[in-house]
Amino acid sequence: MGDTRPASHFHAGNIDGAAVARLVAALDSQDAADGVRRLRAWAHEAVAARPGERALDVGCGTGSQTQALAAAVTPDGDALGIEPNPGLRTVAEQRAAAAGSTARFADGDASALPLADASVDVVWCERVLQHLAEPQRAVDEFARVLRPGGRVVLLDTDWATTILHPGDPATVAALTSGALAAAASPYAGRLLLGQLTAAGLVIDDRGSQALLQDHTTVTWPLIRMLAESAVRRELITGDQRDRLYADLTEAAERGALHMSVTMFAVAAHRPR
Ligand SMILES: C[S@@+](CC[C@H](N)C(=O)[O-])C[C@H]1O[C@@H](n2cnc3c(N)ncnc32)[C@H](O)[C@@H]1O
């Protein structure tokens, strides 16, 4: 799925070595997911970073998209990844150096970017707003740093679109409510359009991808974690949990298991 861990694991203070290694592993597996790759391809085309431009990747994680933006703005442009987690920032710096990328990285917060007004041509922000208690503040910041005519693309997960099949619908709803409770802004995907408009930006295009799992890729630890949490919160009984495991296992054995969550992306620009 888009984030195979509950969203709160990505808060910037999660910096011990083992925690960072888990975040890197999760981000690497998401980099490889078909839905993420397709939505990113759409988003790069929509935002169209050009040679010589200044691009910003807010909450860049391991910096894979900062590197992609750096390649687009080369040779005389600049791509800067903002990443408040020092462990992830170090990984991003090491990977960019190893790849010979000109991408640069800096500490910072999406809601208080260390950049002047109207100083950036392109803002990219992927799966960060779901972690913020006040995502509109961040989107207002993106509008502030964009120069007139500058473009922004936001990509985010909408956790309420989670589908887990088969399973009794009430049991599945109890599980997905755990994922909703874990994200600061669980409906991030559906909010993007309104947030960009509220920030005074003009909508250019919208895209989406369902991130799909089947019996070969399903994240059993995530299902078990959500199910155990639902039992602890007394949303489902132990019997309901066991029935769900049996249903899912049987479906996996006959290749009929479906798990998905939908990501949305919106491209916009600052009026001249
Ligand atoms: C799910 S990861 C996404 C990383 C990257 N954008 C990607 O799509 O691969 C969320 C990222 O947001 C960062 N983050 C969390 N709080 C943030 C904040 N207040 N400002 C900027 N980034 C933040 C995390 O450290 C993490 O790198």
Pairing mode of beta strands 78-82, 104-106: parallel
Bridge partner residues of 105 (DSSP)? 81
Does residue 261 contact residue 161 with C-beta atoms inside 8 Å? yes
Is 89 a pocket residue for ligand 1 (Cβ < 6 Å)? no
92, two tokens: 């991003």
Contacts of 39 (CB under 8 A, 6+ apart): 155, 207, 208, 209, 263, 265
Which pLDDT tens digit goes with each residue over 195-223?
Answer: 999 999 999 999 999 999 999 988 898 89
Is 131 a pocket residue for ligand 1 (Cβ < 6 Å)? yes
Taking the CA atoms of residue 8, residue 12, residue 14 and residue 19 in that order, the dihedral angle to the nearest 10 degrees is 90
Which pLDDT tens digit goes with each residue over 82-99?
Answer: 999 999 999 999 999 999
Backbone φ and ψ for 208, nearest 5 degrees, come out as: -155, 160
Q: 263: closest CA among 170, 212, 189, 195?
A: 189
Structural domains in the chain, CATH included, are 7-269 (3.40.50.150)
Is 2 a pocket residue for ligand 1 (Cβ < 6 Å)? no
Distance 174 CA to ligand 1 centre (A): 27
Q: Please tell me whether the overall predicted TM-score, pTM, comes out greater than 0.85 for this model.
A: yes
Distance 237 CA to ligand 1 centre (A): 35
Is 85 a pocket residue for ligand 1 (Cβ < 6 Å)? yes
> Looking at residue 13, what is its pLDDT?
62
Residue carrying the six token digits 């990113």:
40
Distance 128 CA to ligand 1 centre (A): 5
pLDDT below 50 — which residues of the chain? 2, 4-8
Ligand 1 probe mutation, 4, 5, 128, 142, most atoms within 8 A of CB:
128
> Looking at residue 219, what is its pLDDT?
86
Is 3 a pocket residue for ligand 1 (Cβ < 6 Å)? yes
CB atoms within 10 A of CB 235: 17
